[in-house]
Amino acid sequence: MVPSRDEMDTHHKTRASQKHEVVSSSHYTEKVKVSTWPVRFMLLLLTLAIAGGAGGAYYFYELNLDERRQASLRTSDLERRLLEAGDTAVESNLDLVETTAFNFSEIDKLWAARNRTNANVTELRSELAKLVLVNSGQDEAAGNNSAQIAQNKQTIISSESSINSVSAQVDSLTRAVAQINASIDGLDSLREDIQAVRTSLNSGDTTLLGLTGRLEYVEQSMESVNAHRLQINESLYRLQESVEALSTPANR
């Protein structure tokens, strides 16, 4: 009896599955025996990792402590510096307060000096204004004086011209008076002669009657000359007074 194809395939599959089961069992046994080493290795690595972590933690802890000590030292140094800076700042503040007080005192002194200076300037301006007014008055007076001087000079020039003219007239009149006086002196001598002649006529010399009339005419002429001389003397006196009056302002 020959088996069919399907039966043969089923038989082969069954045997293959059995063989696979046998191989799988032996492989599992081997695998269970060998898999403990990785676990041990992992445990070793874990132990080393823990030890390393502890060492690292201790190292970092020490490092942290060292940093904290350094930070504490820096903090102490900073506090010391701050205290020193605070003391220095207090001293500087005190010095600044003293300097400020001194500066304010000096400023007050300067303000007082400025006020005194302003007062002096005000007084000086007032005095200057007074001087300006005085100078203005003096300038005006000087101008008036200059005008008056110019006018006086012109008056003096005119007076000098008048004086010169009057002096010339006086000289002319003086010469005329001198001539008249000389004529009068001659007439006086002539009068004496006439008087002598009159005496002789009165003694009885009738031939000289015409001469007597002429002598009377001469006497009348002499009287007229004397009157004219008096008028000339009066005019000369008035001219001298005028000359003196004109000379007096000129001398002033």
Residues 23-67 pLDDT 10s: 444 444 444 455 577 777 888 888 888 887 788 788 888 888 888
- Strand segments, DSSP code E, in the chain are none
Structural domain contains residue 130: yes
Q: What is the C-alpha separation between 91 and 83, in angstroms, rounded?
A: 12
pLDDT digits (tens, 9 = 90+) for 184-211: 666 666 666 666 666 665 655 555 556 6
Q: What is the pLDDT of residue 202?
A: 61
What residue numbers bound the domain in which 238 lies? 40-251
Question: Is 238 in contact with 213 (CB distance < 8 Å)?
Answer: no
Q: Give every residue of the chain whose pLDDT is below 50, as ranges.
A: 1-4, 20-32, 250
pTM: 0.31
Cα(23)–Cα(98) distance, integer angstroms:
107
In a domain, 164, yes or no: yes
Exposed/middle/buried for 90, CB within 10 Å: 0-12, 13-18, 19+? Answer: exposed
Residue 95 lies in a domain: yes
- Tally of structural domains, the chain: 1
Tell me whether residue 25 is in a domain.
Answer: no
CA-CA distance, 113 to 115, in Å (whole number)? 5
- Specify if 16 maps to a domain: no
| Residue 2 placed within a domain | no
Residue 29 lies in a domain: no
Domain-located, residue 14 = no
